[in-house]
Amino acid sequence: MSPEIERKFRASVLPADILKNCTSSTPIQQGYLCVSKNAEVRIRKKGDQNFLTTKKGKGLSRLETEISITDEQFQALWPATEGSRIEKVRYHLPIAAHLMAEIDIFSGVNMGLILVEIEFPNEAVANEFIAPDWFGIDVTTDVAYKNASLAK
């Protein structure tokens, strides 16, 4: 497991043409197999790639393990996630100091929700980061904005 140091923001409106500055976009289907107070296990179809991921902890820094799985494995596990899924398109936007913002625009039951996530090399950089106004409010520690919560 490696630490994932990430901050998350809820944007209400994106600046005009911001998506044109993104380097890529990828549709994501994500389902949760198990969610507890301090850990989660999910499967994700990201474009044409599939992953099984565990995350442990909460807040700014969590332990994450991600492994690739086959289409057959994804399809076998997908029915077990019924009632605990999200759909979104993720856009990658390079920002200052060699950081990448991931803009998630949700569809389905979370239609209209826009979250912006940034992973950092360490907690000091994460804590010093000053987000642009359009990122909106910082929801890093708000469990309601965890993808596992949104899937319910």
Catalytic site positions = 32
The DSSP 8-state label assigned to residue 133 in this structure reads G
Helix (H, G, I), strand (E, B) or coil at 128: helix
33 vs 15: CA distance, rounded Å: 35
If DSSP states are collapsed to H, E and C, what string results for 9-57?
EEECCCCCCHHHHCCEEEEEEEEEEEECCCEEEEEEEECCEEEEEEEEC
Residue 34, Cβ neighbours under 10 Å: how many? 13
Q: Please name the residues in contact with 119: beta carbons below 8 A apart, sequence gap of 6 or more.
A: 4, 5, 6, 99, 100, 102
